[in-house]
Amino acid sequence: MKEKIGFIGLGAMGSGMVTNLLEKGWPVTVVPHRKREAVERLKTLGAAEVATARELAEATDVILLCVTGSEQVQEIVSGRNGIVSAGKPLLLIDCSTSNPAVTVRLAEELAISGITLVDAPLARTPKEAAEGKLDVMVGGAADAVARARPILEAFSARIVATGDVGTAHTMKLLNNFISMGYSAIYSEALMLAAKAGLTPQVFDSVLRGSRMDCGFYQAFFEFVLNRNENAQRFAMVNALKDMSYLASFAQSVQAANPVGAVVRNSFAAAVASGKGDAFVPALSDVVAALNGVSLTAATGAK
């Protein structure tokens, strides 16, 4: 018999994840979300709804979190009417991109209450979430990971066990560091190209199909060339959050990480300029504008 699943965080990723859980026979209960249409659609598929995290804990065996980061996770777990207040042993699967140091500390605190924490951050996009083809990194005790695996399989194409609790969140930050690093490099290179009179189309004609081409590059340039704002749906404010988590981790291990600092500051500049809600490829426009050039003028885009 399948375990009863609770789910918090019905955003672009979470909604698709819950859809797959329901379609594959898992009983799922959710809590209210600002996007009521997502809740109502999932209820038509068989999901139940309760008012608080505490009620969710009382009604389920396993809870998945898919929220912004550690601050939200801690509030859901330990806040008023939070998960801990139910006083019930549970498996808690954190699919958020959280601070690894907080995850490790939280796992130790929750163990006292009989709650086992597994970190299982996600890679890929809302499209793959809807298709049940996400990549999932998972960290935790072997028995907890084994218990979580069939649940994660409902919405994933690949699951990579990373080690102890906290290691998956670390790996997720490293994954995002590489992708956000590419974003910062693309943006600066495009700005310098514009300064030299080279259009984004010329830039792309050299890199596309070369050894420097990849799926991330193509999604980024779908925005640069075609102004498709949905090509890579990840807000720059969240990129800054993740790079700040990475900076915190680097400090905790006394590592010199100058590239990480540069990448973080690229997104900090974008957020400070009021563009935090724009998606990551828009960093190219921010860097261009700061240097007095326009990529849209160079492409002829509107």
Annotation says 24 is catalytic: no
Residue 55 CB neighbours (<10 A): 16
Residue found by looking up tokens 């709650």 in the block: 115
Residue 2 CB neighbours (<10 A): 14
Q: How are beta strands 5-8 and 156-163 bridged, if at all?
A: unpaired
Provide the token pair at 191.
């700005």
10 to each of 17, 56, 108, 231, 277, how far by Cα in Å?
9, 14, 27, 20, 18
Provide the token pair at 226.
């075609």
207 to each of 65, 81, 212, 244, 278, how far by Cα in Å?
38, 52, 6, 30, 25
Provide the token pair at 200.
């984004």
3-state DSSP assignment of residue 9: coil
Catalytic residue among 2, 88, 127, 172: 172
The amino acid that residue 157 corresponds to is A
CA 210 distance to own-chain centroid: 28
| 48 bridge partner residues | 29
Q: Report the catalytic residues.
A: 172
